[in-house]
Amino acid sequence: MPSDPVSPRFGANHVPSAGWFYSWLDYDGAAVRRDFADLAGLGLDHVRVFPVWPWIQPNRAIIRERAIADLLDTVDAAAEHGLAVAVDLIQGHLSSFDFLPSWVLTWHKTSIFEDPAVRDGLTAYVDTVARAVAEKPNVFAITLGNEVNNLWPDSATSSGTSMSWAQELLATVKKAAPDVLALHSVFDDAWYKADHPFHPVDVVDLGDLSTVHSWVFNGVSRVDGPLGPATLSHADYLVELAAATSLDPARPVWLQEIGVPGPDIPDELQAEFTRRTVELVLPNPALWGITWWSSHDIDRRLLDFPDREYDLGLFTVDHQRKPAAQALADVIADVRANAVQTAEATTLTAPVNLRTEPHRRPEVAPGSEFHLRWVAARTEGAVRIVLPD
């Protein structure tokens, strides 16, 4: 029998419309409030925000109070528009650029994961910022950073080191902010690449819930095109992999990033992709919520971004609602009115135990035999993944 209806959370990853994340260097609270008014108008309930690590801690001994004050004003701006806030700490990686402080570069060049001095500096940074934002009642989550595994291989690490690094910083977050979710964020090489030093167990064992980022330019769009079943169901597939790999059957999975990257999803198909992808993943009982990447486009006067990064916003830089935004708003309105009914599902056993055989991850990657079997079954209804013993 179908289970009781549920109503997942909906949000957006805030990419400032004026000046991208460079805007932290010349903070404008009015511009932030205009962005958040756009998002609230879609019916979203939260935003994920990204202070930039080297601009808050430019020296290992300096944590800039003014930068933290700007972050706290952003949190207040969200509250004024009825939005809860998740704060990411270690940026780290944003829209294809990496931002690291000078004290881990040049003649200080070292691994942010392995170097004890860097880990000490990061602990101080994480503790200070987490304590500050935890004072705000609308902050519900703190993530260590945005896709921190993008910082490898420039920062050497191993599976044991990357896990201990995250464990230590998550413990720091929990001590500083015991009433908010403490989370760890990685992109999907952790699920699909044989030699990647961040493993599936990092996602499902560390932090208070699992986070996944679904980007169809990882190869899945080449399987069957922009509106093919593999492409449309990739978000649900990642949620399923995370749910199957967790030892806790009740552990939620946050679809923390998903978007409509061109040219994989052409402009004229982005609204349909949005609607159908979201509708496919919503009934998954593991789903905690969906947070769209991103809130606003990047101004094309800014140079050197990969072309797909410029147009991922739900809104243009001049605050015009785009077709994907309207499609998402329509789905949200329907969910708010009717909730989501989860359906009965069949099961499919993966060929590899992702907990114990991470070197075999390519066997579940997009286009693999197992993935294609799952996609074919998914066209007939919900499919739960189970791992072999």
Residue 257 maps to a domain: yes
Give the pLDDT of residue 1: 41
Residue 347 maps to a domain: no
Give the pLDDT of residue 290: 98
Residue 191 maps to a domain: yes
Residue 136 maps to a domain: yes
- Tens of pLDDT along 24-51? 999 999 999 999 999 999 999 999 999 9
Domains: count for the chain: 1
SS3 string, the chain, reads CCCCCECCEEEEECCCCCCHHHHHHHCCHHHHHHHHHHHHHCCCCEEEECCCHHHHCCECCECCHHHHHHHHHHHHHHHHCCCEEEEEEECCEECCEECCCHHHCHHHCCCCCCCHHHHHHHHHHHHHHHHHHHCCCCEEEEEEECCHHHHCCCCCCCHHHHHHHHHHHHHHHHHHCCCCEEECCCCCHHHHCCCCCCCHHHHHHCCCCEEEEECHHHCCHHHHCCCCHHHHCHHHHHHHHHHHHCCCCCCCEEEEEECCCCCCCCHHHHHHHHHHHHHHHCCCCCEEEEEECCCECCCCCCCCCCHHHHHCCCECCCCCECHHHHHHHHHHHHHHHHCECCCCCEEEECCCCCCCCHHHHHHHCCCCHHHHHHHHHHCCCCEEEECCC
Residue 378 maps to a domain: no
- Tens of pLDDT along 236-252? 999 999 999 999 999 99
Residue 273 maps to a domain: yes
Q: What CATH number should be reported for the domain holding residue 59? A: 3.20.20.80
Residue 151 maps to a domain: yes
Range of the domain at 257: 9-342
Residue 349 maps to a domain: no
pTM of the model: 0.97
Average pLDDT, the chain: 97
Query: Which residues of the chain, if any, have pLDDT below 50?
Result: 1-2
